[in-house]
């Protein structure tokens, strides 16, 4: 029987959300869970399969736990860098909201392993300071060879509008060649270009619910040349 991935993920998120602790300042409880934009079937599929394969879990506080994520120095077991249900103040009260892009990030990381053949030890969510210094967090996904070479940089956006702006901005920056963020008209997406110019991955992969695009990268005269490919290749093809 074919599984309804969207329904399964909606039920999972609703249960997790319902069981989150409510801050004492929220007198009337948590607002209804809002999933916007709506889940995509493949996105939901790889999120659920990632859970089932124990690539990550979501704890009782709404934090993702996984070796895909950086563990803060001095932490005592629980990772608190990736919260799936944000806790924030609104109109003088503390409330909760779904980190929508986080669903896409965990799904994309799971797909890299379960669909594209990478080992969990080769996939990282967020570029890390130990590898990239001041360029850390420049992209959402980093995939390394077993020798430590950067093979793929990936970026995840929560909806089509942000996805299309990313692609437009990334093209602009790559065509300009070396330039600083201060001199760039695409400041929000400039770090994606800057990290790729530094690390020189083979591919750049961009993902949003129901959308993805992949470029094979080459480097000439301080510019990044983009060749769009049909899809991100399987690890065995790189």
Within 8 A by CB and 6+ apart from 208, the residues are: 104, 156, 157, 158, 159, 160, 162, 163
Instruction: Count other Cβ atoms within 10 Å, centred on residue 236.
Output: 7
pTM over 0.85? The answer is yes
What are φ and ψ of residue 171, in 5° steps? -60, -45
Which residues, given as ranges, of the chain have pLDDT below 50? 25
Using the 3D structure, point to which of 78, 103, 128 is the last residue of a domain: 103
Q: Give the domain extent around 199.
A: 118-237
Residues 213/164, Cβ–Cβ less than 8 Å:
no
- Residue 201 within any structural domain of the chain: yes
Using the 3D structure, point to which of 103, 134, 169 is the last residue of a domain: 103
pLDDT digits (tens, 9 = 90+) for 79-100: 888 999 887 666 666 677 899 9
pLDDT digits (tens, 9 = 90+) for 172-183: 999 999 999 999
Preceding omega of 37 cis (within 30 degrees of 0)? yes
Using the 3D structure, point to which of 103, 126, 161 is the last residue of a domain: 103
pLDDT digits (tens, 9 = 90+) for 156-167: 999 999 999 999
């Amino acid at each position: 029987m074919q599984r309804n991935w969207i329904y399964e993920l909606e039920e999972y998120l609703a249960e997790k959300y319902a069981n989150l602790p409510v801050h004492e300042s929220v007198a009337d409880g948590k607002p209804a869970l809002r999933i916007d934009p709506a889940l995509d079937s493949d996105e939901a599929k790889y999120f659920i399969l990632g859970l089932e394969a124990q690539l990550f879990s979501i704890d009782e506080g709404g934090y993702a736990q996984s070796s895909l994520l950086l563990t803060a120095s001095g932490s005592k077991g629980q990772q608190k860098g990736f919260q799936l249900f944000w806790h924030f103040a609104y109109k003088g009260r503390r409330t909760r909201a779904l980190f929508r892009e986080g669903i896409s990030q965990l799904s994309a990381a799971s797909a890299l392993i379960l669909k594209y053949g990478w080992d969990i030890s080769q996939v990282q969510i967020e570029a890390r300071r130990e590898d990239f210094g001041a360029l850390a967090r420049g992209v959402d996904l980093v995939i390394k060879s077993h020798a430590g070479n950067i093979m793929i940089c990936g970026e995840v956006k929560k909806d089509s509008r942000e996805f299309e702006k990313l692609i437009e901005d990334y093209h602009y920056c790559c065509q300009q060649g070396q330039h600083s963020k201060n001199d760039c008209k695409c400041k929000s997406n400039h770090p994606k270009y800057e990290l790729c110019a530094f690390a020189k991955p083979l591919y750049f992969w961009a993902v949003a619910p129901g959308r993805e695009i992949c470029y094979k990268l080459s480097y000439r005269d301080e510019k990044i040349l983009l060749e769009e490919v049909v899809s991100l290749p399987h690890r065995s093809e790189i």
